[in-house]
Amino acid sequence: MTKFEVTILGSSSATPAHHRYPTAQIVNYNQKYYMIDCGEGAQFQLSRYGFGYNKIDYIFISHLHGDHYLGLVGLISSMHLNGRSTELFIAGPPELLEIIEIQLKYSQTVLRYPLKFVPTQTNHPEIIFKNSEFEVETIILDHRIPCTGFLFRELPRGRRIIKEYIKQFNISPEYIPLIKGGADYTLPDGEVLPNAVLTIEPPKPRAYAYCSDTIMNMSILDQINGVDLLYHEATFLHDLQQRAADTFHTTARQAGEIATMAKAQKLIIGHFSARYRDLLPHLEECQTQFVNSFLAKEGFTFEVGDQ
Amino acid sequence: MTKFEVTILGSSSATPAHHRYPTAQIVNYNQKYYMIDCGEGAQFQLSRYGFGYNKIDYIFISHLHGDHYLGLVGLISSMHLNGRSTELFIAGPPELLEIIEIQLKYSQTVLRYPLKFVPTQTNHPEIIFKNSEFEVETIILDHRIPCTGFLFRELPRGRRIIKEYIKQFNISPEYIPLIKGGADYTLPDGEVLPNAVLTIEPPKPRAYAYCSDTIMNMSILDQINGVDLLYHEATFLHDLQQRAADTFHTTARQAGEIATMAKAQKLIIGHFSARYRDLLPHLEECQTQFVNSFLAKEGFTFEVGDQ
């Protein structure tokens, strides 16, 4: 099965504390790295956990609170100084490009590599990246400023041909794509082998939903329904439910409720307020609603689906 | 003697490596903290070494290469979130204000404290800060983009009255400022105590010069002559002298030469290129020119003058 996993580089909310870093994650899909958010110090965390700067070709920024993007210009600059020549894709709020460009301008830096910027908007979800294996769709979150999550979703695959039959029935290579596409196969003696015999169901496409920062938001449930892995912010414990609402954040209990309603398989909670040193209460509170819950922690890797 | 010392928060040049952070320093003068440069992660380093965010009221930024200021917006934001209400003074290139303001604007942050910005220029040195104890003057450096160093210089003090004589000769308090100002004192019997008997020389004003980033630059020598402590960048070893010149940086050997020519008392070298893991060769090369040399290292504190 193709590798599909998420490594946490930062689990902190706005003010870094207790050795927790601001938000950043790496999605490793088939040994290619996709970065989600890039808080201050993300480049240090990449080094610490063994991710080479220049293996990252795609960066997705959720919103323009500093704890989600202040590491970006430093990373762009380090890629430049480390001799990068290949294109870097960045998706994020339109104003992010202005923030990047003004800093490159005043440092008189002309990047040695192309930067492709894709602006996101918060009117409706849109697919902002697609390759032959998966696509990334925005999730419209409800925060103090425009903010999107990101849904990494594998594309459906064709049925898989049973390799042993290729040899046994001497199926010539030009027929294989046809069979994968659903065709039956007729043997030289006229006997027809039905497609359902020759092939098996492809694995169910897996999905990872990243939701930070947001007030508890039911409107995302349809879109994230049944995801294999859900990351959801849980800035506060539920006794600060009112504060969470006032600041457009979520409590650990609410994150568990969202995971249950979305029929997610597994939940990671993160974006913890600096007021909490010990995070076990977050996990316990979340598990009252959704058992298969985990705490985001710097350097920890979570698999998407069963591998 | 009033405390006057410098703590290194970051010793790295442009790309952080080998657990070295981008440039930032704290000058502790009489238990007040003055920050010089604020590279990415400076707020983490402040916490690590026990400097409270809100004990910093003055920040001096040398130039707009990211490794010298990318930690600033995160620090400004953390001060805001930690309830700061007192003014924050920032001096730096004029464009820095635009960089700060655009990021506050797009994060919809209205600071809870006043921010006082003092633009620096690179035409000639100027005093950009002064209180009753010391002043800060810019040093015009020669780098790829406009860059200033900073000279922290104690103000000359009046002669110090010998306390025992106040009691012995029953000198009334209103005369003490006059004596400190140079007056003699006439006893009731008409005998005159000369000022030179009653007072002693004040301690020599101390000075700290911060010089990063720059090509080897003789034009600063007059200004930094005789400083108690000199920080000078030493990005490369001298075998890369040409590369240092091309990139407007200095070698360890050249930093030692500058310290000798400036008749400095003590030298710290820093801003080390990521290509060097081991820094002992920097120290050895520098000491061939100036013996009293030290390596900048995260968390290390250096006294300014004899204390």
pLDDT higher than threshold 90 for residue B119: yes
Of the three residues A148, A177, A200, the one that is the final residue of a domain is A200
Residue A307: band (very low, low, confident or very high) from pLDDT cuts 50, 70, 90: low
pLDDT tens for B17-28 read 888 999 999 999
> Percent of chain B beyond pLDDT 70?
100
Residues A288 and A195 in one domain: no
Best mutation target, A62, A69, A107, to test chain B (most B CBs within 10 A): A107
Domain that holds residue A172: 166-200
In this complex, is the C-beta atom of B146 within 8 Å of any C-beta atom belonging to chain A? Answer: no
pLDDT tens for A225-274 read 999 999 999 999 999 999 999 999 999 999 999 999 999 999 999 999 99
pLDDT of B17: 85
**CB within 8 Å: A66 and B77:** yes
Residues A137 and A171 in one domain: no
Which of A120-124, A188-192, A278-282, B40-44 comes out lowest in average pLDDT?
A: A188-192
**CB within 8 Å: A40 and B103:** no
Which of A89-98, B46-55, B121-130, B138-147 comes out lowest in average pLDDT?
A: B46-55
CA distance A165 to B124: 83
Residues A260 and A223 in one domain: yes
pLDDT tens for A109-119 read 999 999 999 99
The three-state (H, E, C) secondary structure of chain A, written as one string: CCCEEEEEEECECCCCECCECECEEEEEECCEEEEEEECCCHHHHHHHCCCCHHHEEEEECCCCCHHHCCCHHHHHHHHHHCCCCCCEEEEECCHHHHHHHHHHHHCCCCCCCCEEEEECCCCCCCEEEECCCEEEEEEECCCCCCCEEEEEEECCCCCEECHHHHHHCCCCHHHHHHHHCCCCEECCCCCEECHHHHEECCCCCCEEEEECCCCCCHHHHHHHCCCCEEEEECCECHHHHHHHHHCCCCEHHHHHHHHHHCCCCCEEEECECCCCCCCHHHHHHHHCCCCCEEECCCCCEEECCCC
CA distance A243 to A237: 10
Average per-residue pLDDT for chain B: 95
User: How wide is the angle at C-alpha A18 spanned by C-alphas A17 and A22, nearest 5°?
Assistant: 45
pLDDT tens for B282-291 read 999 999 999 9
- Greater confidence, A109 or B180? A109
User: Span B126-147, mean pLDDT?
Assistant: 96
Which residues in B lie closer than 8 A to residue A70 (C-beta atoms)?
40, 70, 73-74
pLDDT higher than threshold 90 for residue B90: yes
Residues A220 and A184 in one domain: no
Measured between its terminal Cα atoms, the distance across chain B in Å is 6
Residues A185 and A106 in one domain: no
CA distance B83 to A294: 31
Residues B274 and B168 in one domain: no
In this complex, is the C-beta atom of B17 within 8 Å of any C-beta atom belonging to chain A? Answer: yes
Question: What total of structural domains would you count in chain A?
Answer: 2
Note whether A120 and A91 are within 8 A (CB).
yes
pLDDT tens for B48-69 read 999 988 889 999 999 999 999 9
User: Span A161-179, mean pLDDT?
Assistant: 89
> How many angstroms separate the Cα of A13 from the Cα of each of A21, A97, B104, B252?
8, 23, 17, 41
User: Span B230-246, mean pLDDT?
Assistant: 97
Residue A214: band (very low, low, confident or very high) from pLDDT cuts 50, 70, 90: very high
CA distance A148 to A192: 51
Residue A17: band (very low, low, confident or very high) from pLDDT cuts 50, 70, 90: confident
User: How wide is the angle at C-alpha B143 spanned by C-alphas B233 and A113, nearest 5°?
Assistant: 100
pLDDT tens for A41-68 read 999 999 999 998 888 999 999 999 999 9
Average per-residue pLDDT for chain A: 95
User: Which H or E run includes B301?
Assistant: strand B301-303
Q: Would you tell me how many other CB atoms lie within 10 Å of the CB of residue B234?
A: 34
**Which candidate, B69, B75, B18, places its Cα nearest to that of B45?**
B75
User: Span B295-307, mean pLDDT?
Assistant: 92
pLDDT of A54: 81
Of the partner residues B15, B64, B96, the one whose CB lies closest to the CB of residue A78: B15
**Which candidate, B153, B21, B52, B304, places its Cα nearest to that of A43?**
B21
Using the structure block, give the residue that is written with the tokens 């005369």.
B175
Of the partner residues B65, B78, B93, the one whose CB lies closest to the CB of residue A15: B78
| B73–chain A nearest CA distance, Å | 8
Residues B53 and B141 in one domain: yes
The CATH code of the domain that includes B128 is: 3.60.15.10
pLDDT of B307: 52
Residue A85: band (very low, low, confident or very high) from pLDDT cuts 50, 70, 90: very high
> Searching chain B, which residue's CA lies closest to the CA of residue A43?
B16
In this complex, is the C-beta atom of A291 within 8 Å of any C-beta atom belonging to chain B? Answer: no
Tokens (6 digits) for A303: 């698999």
**Which candidate, A266, A226, A232, places its Cα nearest to that of A251?**
A232
**CB within 8 Å: B99 and A106:** yes
Q: Provide the sign of the torsion angle of the four alpha carbons A293, A296, A297, A302, taken in this order.
A: positive
CA distance B26 to B28: 6
pLDDT higher than threshold 90 for residue A282: yes
Residues B92 and B183 in one domain: no
Q: What residues of B are annotated to the active site? A: 67
User: Span B114-140, mean pLDDT?
Assistant: 97
pLDDT of B224: 97
> How many angstroms separate the Cα of B215 from the Cα of each of A197, B10, B273?
74, 20, 14
CA distance B242 to B254: 12
For B273, which DSSP code?
Answer: -
Known binding site: residues of B?
A: 63, 65, 67-68, 143, 213, 271
pLDDT of B250: 97
pLDDT higher than threshold 60 for residue B41: yes
| Dihedral, B167, B173, B174, B178 alpha carbons, nearest 10 | 60
**CB within 8 Å: A74 and B107:** no
User: Span A14-39, mean pLDDT?
Assistant: 94
Residues A66 and A171 in one domain: no
Residue A306: band (very low, low, confident or very high) from pLDDT cuts 50, 70, 90: confident
Of the three residues B174, B200, B226, the one that is the final residue of a domain is B200
Residues A174 and A34 in one domain: no
Residues A173 and A237 in one domain: no
* DSSP SS3 for B84: coil
In this complex, is the C-beta atom of B15 within 8 Å of any C-beta atom belonging to chain A? Answer: yes
Residue A133: band (very low, low, confident or very high) from pLDDT cuts 50, 70, 90: very high
Residues A91 and A186 in one domain: no
In this complex, is the C-beta atom of B16 within 8 Å of any C-beta atom belonging to chain A? Answer: yes
Residue B209: beta bridge partners? B151, B230
